[in-house]
Amino acid sequence: MSDGAPTDAAEATDPAGLARELVSIPSHDDETRAGDAIAAWLREHTDAAVTRDAAGNVLARRERGADGTERTRDDGAETLALVGHHDVVAPDSSQIDGEGEYVVEERDGRLHGRGAADMKGSLAAAMCAFRDADPGPARELTFASFVGEELGGEGARHAIAAGFVPEYAIVGEGSTGYSTPGVSASNASDGSSRAKRSDGVTDVAVAHKGRRASTVEARGVAAHASEPAAGENAIHRACEAVETLRDLDAPRATVLGESLAGSVAVTGIEGGSAWNVIPETCTLTVDERTVPGERAPLERLEDGSVAWTVDQDLPPMACEDEAFAGLVREAAAGAQDGEPELVTKPHATDAGWLAAEGATCVVCGAAEPGEAHTRTESVSIDAVERCYRIYRNAAESW
């Protein structure tokens, strides 16, 4: 609970207050209640056409301008979408009370609670910007909050299959402090120390990595371990596959002058049934971080005794439109004192799914490196309010 029982999110009118109410709503195993609150707020505070699709996504299209007049959409007008998600990962026990409600606290200029950084803070900023911005008749402004982002983009894929593919999108995942020297996504993974986290500028990410998760199965012939030559050791074959993986060059890409390096890592191995049996199977799990346009040649692993299966493939994202990236960067510069930079992100987001279908995307949001999914997750209230200004600036200057 947020220092008491959660209140109706429809009552909040500013980004920080709305963020607080959204964070108070549990949405790690069922997004319905959060989606209801988002849809209710949009219906209460905007004249948008608001829909809920079969997956639970909340989609909205502005029908009136900020002054209340009916918008006339020019034929062929392009669409800019402000995009987020309202599902979160399971909370730490300290982030939930005895009644199953989320604990939300404000202290030291930050909002603390599960989902504050990933990504209800930015989601609140996007909702308020969607309400207030008026891009003019040559452009259409839409909003989307997806479900299932933490499960591989389930909601985004459902919406895309139903026809939601805007020409342009700003996805509100974290980009604050990414250009701060000495700060990376690996900093403060336990929430214990965050260098310069509050004074980092909100940057604009023009690319992010994807993730391809694979299973490699090596097959051999079982035999008694006292006569190893009578069989074929699947673990040995798996070790040979590991050596092949270690020799692969990680792919690299450059997007608008920013470099992005992929990686391949063996993250699990399982094989053998008993200490005195030569194993006939051995399985490896492989985590590959992909980059736009490049993949590690994992097919080299396959032969008659080794099989390779792709279990999950989250696409990377690249913004090749320098003008759009520059526009959002200028919007970010006008919303804060620091100088934002074009950066890259190591994590996959729903921007990858949209970009794969032809949308031009950037990622820009309040969360800083090392905040998401932690037991001490929090977001800077200043950054949430800054993102509201960025999204509104971008929509109105686009």
Assess contact for 228 and 222: CB atoms under 8 A: no
Q: Answer whether CATH 1.10.3720.10 is correct for domain 210-314.
A: no
Domain ranges in the chain? 9-209+316-397, 210-314
**105-107: strand order across its sheet:** 105-107, 110-112, 378-380
Q: Which two tokens stand for residue 255?
A: 């997007």
Strand, coil or helix: what is 394?
helix
Q: Do domains 9-209+316-397 and 210-314 have the same CATH topology?
A: no
Strands 223-224 and 277-278: antiparallel
Q: Can you tell me the distance from the alpha carbon of 398 to that of 394, in angstroms, rounded to the nearest whole number?
A: 6
Q: What is the enclosing helix (H) or strand (E) of 103?
A: none
Assess contact for 205 and 117: CB atoms under 8 A: no
Rounded to the nearest 5 degrees, what angle is found at the Cα of 173, between the Cα atoms of 171 and 178? 120
Please return the burial class of 31, using the count of CB atoms within 10 Å of its CB with bins 0-12, 13-18 and 19+: buried
E-strand stretches of 293-359:
306-314, 317-318, 342-345
pLDDT tens by residue, the chain, 398 residues: 444 444 457 678 999 999 999 999 999 999 999 999 999 999 999 999 999 999 999 999 986 555 555 555 555 678 999 999 999 999 999 999 999 999 999 999 999 999 999 999 999 999 999 999 988 776 899 999 999 999 999 999 999 999 999 999 999 999 999 998 765 544 333 333 343 445 689 999 999 999 999 999 999 999 999 999 999 999 999 999 999 999 998 899 999 999 999 999 999 999 999 999 999 999 999 999 999 998 999 999 999 899 999 999 999 999 999 999 999 999 999 999 999 999 999 999 999 999 999 999 999 999 999 999 999 999 999 999 999 999 999 999 97
Q: Report CA torsion sign: 343, 187, 201, 38.
A: positive
Per-residue pLDDT at 136: 73
What does residue 94 show for φ and ψ, rounded to 5 degrees? -75, -10
Answer whether 0.85 is exceeded by the pTM: yes
Q: Can you tell me the distance from the alpha carbon of 238 to that of 357, in angstroms, rounded to the nearest whole number?
A: 36
Peptide linkage before 127 cis (omega within 30 of 0): no
Q: Which two tokens stand for residue 380?
A: 């800077």
Angle between helices 32-45 and 121-132 (to 10 degrees): 20
Could you say which architecture CATH assigns to the domain 9-209+316-397? 3-Layer(aba) Sandwich (3.40)
299 secondary structure, DSSP code: G
Q: Can you tell me the distance from the alpha carbon of 371 to that of 374, in angstroms, rounded to the nearest whole number?
A: 6
